[in-house]
């Protein structure tokens, strides 16, 4: 089944810096979604990018999608301590979302 | 609008027992999905229900079952619990068909002793 693989597994940066996370997948998709999870809590939807889109912005978030390379990236600009969380990509096809193991982002104050 | 509600939030069981978890989706949402999250395996898809019918199923043994009621509320049951079933179980709802945004509950943390 379709599943995203996030890279890196863990990332630590200073507050104010930009954070970039990558996602790769294997088969064709309808869209790709990114979610955030604070420790032990439920996931929160961040952004959805459709297969015919190349880039999308939402506040401090920028997502790119390259369907030829089957990859996506999530950029968080001007990071804040509150951005500390795990981030998951979810490539979606056939009405099914599957998640990888995520990228653990730590923002150092 | 109330969010996705999962009960109970925490529970402790012993091996061999069974457990039933409940999920109330956002009002108007007809699709409910269940995920199991463990440190080693990440988020694993269990199953999805839409209008009381199981639409998708993950690769899990028959000990894992679920159902959805006419009001879209869903229950997930695990019989004959094993230590490896200790996990955070997450429920998510969405409006209906298609691959739109999922709205997650806070989860039910199950510990099996």
Q: Give A91 to chain B, closest Cα distance, Å.
A: 10
Return the pLDDT at A76: 98
Contacts of A33 in chain B (CB under 8 A): 101-102
Q: Does B106 sit within 8 Å of A42, measured CB to CB?
A: yes
pLDDT above 90: residue B19? yes
Average pLDDT over residues A7-36: 94
Q: Tell me the two tokens of residue B12.
A: 């402790």
Percent of chain B surpassing pLDDT 90:
65
pLDDT > 80? residue B38: yes
- A1 or B65, higher pLDDT: B65
pLDDT at position A4 is 82
Q: Which residue from B20, B56, B40, B35 is spatially nearest to B102, judged by alpha carbons? A: B35
Contacts of B101 in chain A (CB under 8 A): 33, 45, 48
| Torsion, CA A78, CA A83, CA A86, CA A89, rounded to 10 | -50
Which B-chain residues 76-105 have CB contacts (< 8 A) with chain A? 88, 90, 92, 97-105
A95:B55 CB<8 A:
yes
- A41 to chain B, minimum CA–CA distance in Å? 5
Is 70 exceeded by the pLDDT of residue B20? yes
Q: What DSSP line would sit under A4-62, residue for residue?
A: -EEE-SEEEEETTS-EEEEEE-SS--SEEEEEEE-TTS-EEEEEEEETT-SEEEETTEE
Does the pLDDT of residue B79 top 60, yes or no?
yes
Min Cα–Cα distance to chain B from A96, Å: 7
Residues of A with Cβ-Cβ distance to B98 under 8 angstroms: 30, 95
The reply to whether residue B43 touches residue A88, judged by beta carbons under 8 angstroms, is yes
Closest to B36 in 3D by CA, of B102, B108, B94, B87 = B87
Burial per residue of A83-95, b for 16 or more beta-carbon CB atoms within 10 angstroms, e otherwise: bbbbbbbbbbbeb
Taking CB atoms and an 8 Å cutoff, what residues of chain B touch A48? 100-101
d(CA B21, CA B30): 18
List, for residues B39-63, the tens digit of each pLDDT value. Answer: 877 888 898 999 888 888 888 888 9
How high is the mean pLDDT of chain A?
Answer: 92
Q: Return the pLDDT at A2.
A: 59
Q: Which of A47, A48, A92, A97 to mutate to test the interface with B (most CBs of B within 10 A)?
A: A97
């Amino acid at each position: 089944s379709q599943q995203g693989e996030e890279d890196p597994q863990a990332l630590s940066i200073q507050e104010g810096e930009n954070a970039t996370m990558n996602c790769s997948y294997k088969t064709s998709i309808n869209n790709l979604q990114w979610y955030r999870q604070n420790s032990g809590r439920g996931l929160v939807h961040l952004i959805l990018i459709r297969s015919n889109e190349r880039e999308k912005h939402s506040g401090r978030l920028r997502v790119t999608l390259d369907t030829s390379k089957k990859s996506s990236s999530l950029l968080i600009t001007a990071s804040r301590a509150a951005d500390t969380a795990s981030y998951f990509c979810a490539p979606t096809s056939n009405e099914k979302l599957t998640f990888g193991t995520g990228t653990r982002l730590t923002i150092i104050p | 609008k109330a969010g996705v509600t999962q009960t109970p939030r925490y529970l402790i069981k012993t091996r061999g027992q069974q457990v039933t978890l409940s999920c109330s989706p956002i009002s108007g949402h007809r699709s409910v999905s269940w995920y199991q999250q463990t440190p080693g395996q990440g988020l694993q898809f269990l199953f999805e229900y839409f209008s009381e019918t199981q639409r998708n199923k993950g690769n899990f043994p028959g000990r894992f079952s679920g159902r959805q009621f006419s009001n879209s509320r869903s229950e997930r049951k695990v019989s004959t619990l094993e230590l490896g079933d200790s996990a955070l179980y997450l429920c998510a709802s969405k409006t209906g068909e298609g691959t739109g945004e999922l709205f997650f509950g806070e989860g039910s943390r199950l510990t099996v002793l």
